[in-house]
């Protein structure tokens, strides 16, 4: 009797919950592995540039607007510099942007133009493997940006407590939420023009969520 090379795979497929059978092959790892290979071979430069986005925001807003604003009241009421005020919000924003970029623009491109997923679905992989794998990659990107930006903040002297490290899991949680919803929304899109609707939803969150100024500037009904 010949060695059954398919045995472990068959065992894995049999171990799935039956109600997921049609969607999931239990092998999201293959999609993740592909993601890392693509980063290594093709687009690490693209990922690296995403890191500059929050840094540019911090410089422009912290230096430029900071010169107009002066200081703002901190959480305990004491005035802090404007750059210090916006830094944590920009970290959260960069995690959101990194996750959205991977799960909206990149997923749309692979879905509509390069047809990567069609290729994947020709194998034993199911749509859920693809989704989990891609969301994991989006999270990885969010993690990279969060760590990088935290490093920049520390270098600029804007971090005053070791608790700042807790921002990284928070950023990952943000990235998970946005990546999942972003990917779900993208699956309905028909043209690249519709991708513009995503920033239309993100922009109010970015602009009105006390990113750039304290929420107390609003009338109290809309704050929160």
Partner 1 sequence: MTEHPTTHAGPQITFSGLDHAALADRTRRWGWVQYAGYRDAAERPFLGTTLAVALGNPVLYLAAMGLGLGSIVQQPVDGVPYLTFVAPGLLVSTVVSTGAQFGTWPIFGGFKWQMNYLAAQATPLEPKQMAQGEALAIGVRLLVQALLFWMIGFAFGAWPSPGSVAMVPIAMLAALAMFTPLMAYAATLQEEGLQFNFVQRLIVMPMFLFAGTFFPLGAMPIYLQWIGWVSPMWHGTQLARMVAFGLDVPPWLAVVHVVFLVGLFLGGLWAAGRTFTRRLVR
Among 14, 20, 23, 46, binds partner 1 (CB under 8 A): 46
- Cα(7)–Cα(139) distance, integer angstroms: 32
Tell me how far apart the 2 most distant CA atoms of the chain are, in Å.
80
Contact of 124 with 25, CB cutoff 8 Å: yes
User: Is residue 187 part of the contact set for partner 1 (CB under 8 A)?
Assistant: no
Residue 6 engages partner 1 in binding (rule: CB under 8 A): no
Q: 52-85 burial, b if ≥16 CB within 10 A, otherwise e?
A: ebbbebbeebbeeebeebeebeeeeeeebbbbbb
Question: Quick check: 13 binds partner 1 (CB under 8 A)?
Answer: no
79 part of the interface to partner 1, by CB under 8 A? no
123 binds partner 1 (CB under 8 A): no
**Smallest gap from residue 170 Cβ to partner 1 (A):** 23
Q: Is 23 in the site for partner 1 (CB under 8 A)?
A: no
Contacting partner 1 (CB under 8 A), which of 164, 180, 181, 208?
Answer: 208
Q: If you write DSSP's letter for every residue of 61-101 in order, what string do you get?
A: IIIIIHHHH-EEE-TTSSEEEHHHHHHHHHHHHHHHHHHHI
What are the residues binding partner 1 (CB under 8 A)? 42-43, 45-46, 49-50, 52-53, 56-57, 59-61, 63-65, 67-69, 72, 113-114, 191-194, 196-197, 200, 203-204, 207-208, 212-214, 217-218
């Amino acid at each position: 009797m010949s060695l059954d090379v398919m045995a472990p795979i068959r065992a894995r497929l049999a171990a799935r919950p039956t109600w997921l059978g049609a969607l999931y092959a239990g092998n999201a790892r293959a999609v993740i592995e592909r993601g890392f290979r693509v980063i290594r071979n093709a687009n690490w430069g693209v990922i690296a540039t995403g890191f500059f986005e929050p840094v540019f925001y911090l410089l422009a807003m912290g230096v430029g607007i900071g010169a107009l604003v002066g200081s703002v009241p901190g959480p305990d009421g004491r005035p802090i510099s404007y750059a210090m005020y916006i830094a944590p919000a920009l970290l959260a924003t960069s995690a959101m942007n990194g996750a959205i970029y991977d799960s909206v623009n990149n997923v749309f491109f692979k879905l509509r133009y390069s047809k990567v997923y069609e290729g994947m679905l020709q194998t034993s992989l199911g749509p859920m493997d693809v989704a989990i794998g891609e969301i994991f990659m989006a999270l990885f990107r969010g993690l990279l940006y969060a760590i990088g930006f935290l490093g920049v903040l520390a270098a600029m002297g804007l971090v005053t407590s070791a608790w700042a490290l807790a921002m990284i899991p928070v950023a990952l949680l943000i990235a998970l939420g946005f990546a999942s919803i972003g990917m779900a929304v993208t699956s309905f899109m028909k043209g690249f023009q519709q991708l513009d609707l995503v920033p239309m939803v993100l922009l109010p969150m970015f602009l009105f969520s006390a990113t750039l100024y304290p929420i107390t500037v609003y009338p109290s009904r809309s704050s929160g």
